[in-house]
Structure 1
């Protein structure tokens, strides 16, 4: 069988259905919900999933266990150990989805890219699109997988910390995008996490992630390109932030689809920035 090639960083339900049995393919369910939600991604995956999908828990298991901030990127060794338990190898072609259409899956796409894995894409429309198209849904007990040896190497270009961002806040070679709703960006709505200030970083642009989506699907690539071209120069380093580093990855994936290459996620995002009084807030 020939090697499996992804068409881009997003795939359609038709593409996934056509290649679902390819030996290189690994499907990952990355469903996650905001704190306070009554939904549980892991429990829902146990009940129903795309056939052969494994659950990728970036909130508890595949996260830095020592971080005070939520679901921070783990070390490369921690990532490799956990990903190997899911049956992922360095030759795997990965498709990630979530049960909201397009919400938390881009976080896992970004994590793999940050760990040096190139062959990863997100399912456009997610699990709702898969079900709406009438494709098979597995409701049996999740199947066990054979662990693999996985090697990860952190690519520092994909992630930035608060102190480094603070030092380069007004660098004209950078452009910061904030994925939170505009009401939170402008401080008109309180932050959901206690002790986090309202407002935004100096020099940041508001680009709510919802503006890049329609019914759980990304806008066409040319429309995504127009959004980024209107707010930044083609050669700028784009830095993405949000509440806790999840929806910032929607912006990063959209920028990738639009053809941008210099992409960085501020992992601590506003949870860190708004809590640390050494960082200025506008």
Structure 2
């Protein structure tokens, strides 16, 4: 068996199928139930088989997250992240492919978490488990959440990959930065209610609305040639991009799209609207 390096931040079902026997390959299922109005894509009716054989569960919604945070699935500290990842048998030399059971929805956040901790040999499976099933490849009912042997992964935090409300507040009037909001136009402009309770409607002053569905084609992320004009219409190539959404999940879909389009100075606002939209003094416009 040979060792591999992922060819890009996004890999196809065919690529993964052809490299299943690679010595250093680790496949992770980062599925998170989608929040309204986004719906789960269809897998076989009545089937509990949602997982790619040989994969491990990467649960950043309840487990690989800051357990003391009041906000959903906040990024854990470097030490906690490394400890959890080693339990998945992940090594410094592992090639990681991450998928979810919706298409391209929850997996980009897991991809960005690894990159934020200094691991670049990581990719998202385009189309996820749905595309795997459409290719007539096997899915299984259950997968483990721990490997039989611990890995040697060490976190090397890339500061700035995730940011907080203070950082966003500081760059609101900075023309060298752009804030991209992945929520729907209705939520962005305060016309539609937030799916989570007790949050104000609207958006951060100066933010641009780029609903994450615009970078997707059904279950797949759009190709690079389609992503570039979408990103260039929203932000200049020399700007630092900050991404926000409802809870820091779909913001990472835009982060992956920007990365695919060639942008590299990227940061995700971890608390996103779950934090900014709370009643308080942070500025909100509609």
Same fold (TM over 0.5): yes
1:273 matched to which residue of 2? Answer: 276
Which residue of structure 2 aligns with residue 238 of structure 1? 241
The answer to whether residue 165 in structure 2 is matched with residue 201 in structure 1 is no
Instruction: For structure 1, list consecutive stretches of 5 or more residues without a partner in the other structure.
Output: none
Look up the match of 2:152. 149
Q: Residues 177 and 240 of structure 1 are in contact (CA less than 8 Å); yes or no, is this contact kept in structure 2?
A: yes
Deviations 1:199-252 (A, max 9, x none): 000110000000110111111101101011111111100000000000000000
Question: 1:78 and 2:80 equivalent?
Answer: yes
1:260 counterpart (263, 270, 274): 263
Report how far residue 156 of structure 1 moved. Answer: 1.2
- Would the alpha carbon gap of residues 105 and 273 (structure 1) be closer, same or farther in structure 2, given more than 3 Å must change? same
Where does 1:41-52 land on structure 2 (aligned, <5 Å)?
47-52=49-54
Match of 2:20 in 1: 20
1:159 counterpart residue number: 162
C-alpha separation in 1, matches of 2:247 and 2:172: 19
The aligned counterpart of 2:43 is none
**Which ranges of structure 2 fall in alignment gaps of 5 or more residues?**
41-45
- On the 8 A contact 1:45/1:55 being kept in 2, the answer is no
More helix by share: 1
Partner SS for 2:160:
helix
Aligned pair count reads 278
Q: CA deviation at 1:157?
A: 2.3
TM-score by length of 2: 0.92
Structure 2 equivalent of residue 60 of structure 1: 62
Does the 8 Å contact 1:27/1:53 carry over to 2? yes
- Counterpart CA distance in 2 for 1:156 and 1:144 is 29
TM-score of the two chains, using structure 1 as the length reference: 0.93
Q: CA RMSD in A?
A: 2.1
